[in-house]
């Protein structure tokens, strides 16, 4: 294996014996949530996946080494330390050669999952086409990786800090299937509704596993988005969260926030403006996604 990549022995063993493995990203830990809730989330997500009978693989770059599977200390470090890079595809060369520590976005985590041979990945929300992208060109690298990399991403849709309509159009252009898990509507992260319809509603993890297998077995490249709505009990009111998001977007504009700082800025602002309510919803939807991802991964390894 390449000296820049270290896969935890438990994960190597699981992959070699065709056990289900679920990849997890780390930007959500370092740049998506405050301490200490982020550590609690990261540990709990791993436990949920284990309880479902799959093996969790949290991914990050630690001192210039790509790690698939982290220790508790490494997770704690990513959660606490301020000087952690946000690594998407364009940041690998710098992070590895300068021996930096970096949290991986959906984009970077997908690339690493593919290198390791992991097919299913759970996260909170994917990046997408930002509002006003026609002027800023701000389109998340996540969408490019979704078009190129054979990894399925379970998420709660995307936040309406993004332009969800344009995000769906872009995914269509890139040939990325977007499935609703027990829903026909794209969920909008904090709320179950977005007003955007999806083409396909899938009812079971088994059916989703079969879909992944069918797509990849004919040699089609690219990811699949599995949109899993936040559980009803934690779903926030669509209108009020929208008002908060609009306010956060205005503040970002006023403060001149740009580029890779945009998403972390908006996430922190939304949390501040909802006095933490959004954080609880965020935690619950990540747990829900981890559970579904583990179930899909288990069916998938039995098809292969």
Q: Which residues contact 235 (CB under 8 A, 6 or more apart)?
A: 190, 191, 192, 229, 281
Q: How far is the CB of 106 from ligand PSU (least distance, A)?
A: 3
* Chosen residue from 32, 69, 205, 222 binding ligand PSU by CB under 6 A: 32
Q: How far is the CB of 104 from Mn ion (least distance, A)?
A: 15
Q: Which partner in Mn ion, ligand PSU, none is near 28 (CB below 5 to 8 A by kind)?
A: ligand PSU
**What does R_g of the chain's alpha carbons equal in angstroms?**
18
Is residue 91 within the footprint of ligand PSU (CB under 6 A)?
no
Would you tell me the crossing angle of helices 37-51 and 277-303 to the nearest 10 degrees?
Answer: 30
Q: Which residues contact 155 (CB under 8 A, 6 or more apart)?
A: 122, 123, 124, 125, 126, 225, 226, 227, 228, 289
Q: Which partner in Mn ion, ligand PSU, none is near 235 (CB below 5 to 8 A by kind)?
A: none
Q: Which partner in Mn ion, ligand PSU, none is near 131 (CB below 5 to 8 A by kind)?
A: none
Q: How far is the CB of 16 from Mn ion (least distance, A)?
A: 37
From residue 161, how far is each of 24, 104, 138 by CA, in Å? 22, 20, 12
Tell whether the torsion through CA atoms of 135, 137, 140 and 145 is positive or negative: positive
266, 161 Cβ separation under 8 angstroms: yes
Contacting ligand PSU within 120-139 (CB under 6 A): 124-125, 127
Q: How far is the CB of 217 from ligand PSU (least distance, A)?
A: 27
Q: Which residues contact 24 (CB under 8 A, 6 or more apart)?
A: 42, 45, 46, 49, 56, 57, 58, 59, 109, 121, 122, 123, 290
* Active-site residue list: 25, 159
Part of the chain binding ligand PSU (CB under 6 A), chosen from 62-70, 102-110, 175-183, 204-212: 102-110
Part of the chain binding ligand PSU (CB under 6 A), chosen from 64-72, 166-174, 211-219, 259-267: 259-267
Q: Tell me how crowded residue 98 is: count the other CB atoms within 10 A of its CB.
A: 11
Tokens read off for 91: 């940041």
* Chosen residue from 149, 198, 267, 283 binding ligand PSU by CB under 6 A: 267
Q: How far is the CB of 151 from Mn ion (least distance, A)?
A: 20
* Chosen residue from 183, 263, 288, 295 binding ligand PSU by CB under 6 A: 263
Contact residues toward Mn ion (CB under 5 A) are 138
Is residue 25 within the footprint of ligand PSU (CB under 6 A)?
yes
Q: Which residues contact 192 (CB under 8 A, 6 or more apart)?
A: 183, 185, 229, 230, 232, 235
Using CB under 6 A, list all residues that contact ligand PSU: 25, 27-28, 32, 105-107, 124-125, 127, 140-142, 159, 189, 260, 263, 267
């Amino acid at each position: 294996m390449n000296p820049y990549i270290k896969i935890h022995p438990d994960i190597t063993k699981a992959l070699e014996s065709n056990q289900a493995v679920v990849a997890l990203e780390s930007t959500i830990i370092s740049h998506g949530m405050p301490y200490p809730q982020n550590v609690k989330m990261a540990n709990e997500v791993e436990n949920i996946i284990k309880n479902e009978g799959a093996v969790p693989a949290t991914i990050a770059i630690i001192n210039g080494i790509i790690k698939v599977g982290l220790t508790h200390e490494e997770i704690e470090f990513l959660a606490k330390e301020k000087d952690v890079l946000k690594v998407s595809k364009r940041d690998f060369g710098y992070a590895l050669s300068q021996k930096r520590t970096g949290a991986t976005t959906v984009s970077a985590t997908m690339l690493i999952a593919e290198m390791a041979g992991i097919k299913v990945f759970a996260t909170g929300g994917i990046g997408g086409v930002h509002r006003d992208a026609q002027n800023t060109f701000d389109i998340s690298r996540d969408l490019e990786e979704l078009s190129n990399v054979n990894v399925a991403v379970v998420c709660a849709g995307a936040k309406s800090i993004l332009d969800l309509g344009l995000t769906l159009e872009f995914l269509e252009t890139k040939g990325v299937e977007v499935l609703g898990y027990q829903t026909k509507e794209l969920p909008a992260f904090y709320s179950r509704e977005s007003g955007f319809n999806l083409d396909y509603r899938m009812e079971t993890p088994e059916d989703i596993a079969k879909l992944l297998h069918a797509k990849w077995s004919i040699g089609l490249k690219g990811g699949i988005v599995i949109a899993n709505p936040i559980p009803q009990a934690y779903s926030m009111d669509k209108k009020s969260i929208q008002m908060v998001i609009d306010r956060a977007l205005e503040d970002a504009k006023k403060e001149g926030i740009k580029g890779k700082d945009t998403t972390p800025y908006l996430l922190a602002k939304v949390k501040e403006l909802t006095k933490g309510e959004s954080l609880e919803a965020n935690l619950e939807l990540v747990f829900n996604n981890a559970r579904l991802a583990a179930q899909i991964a288990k069916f998938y390894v039995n098809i292969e």
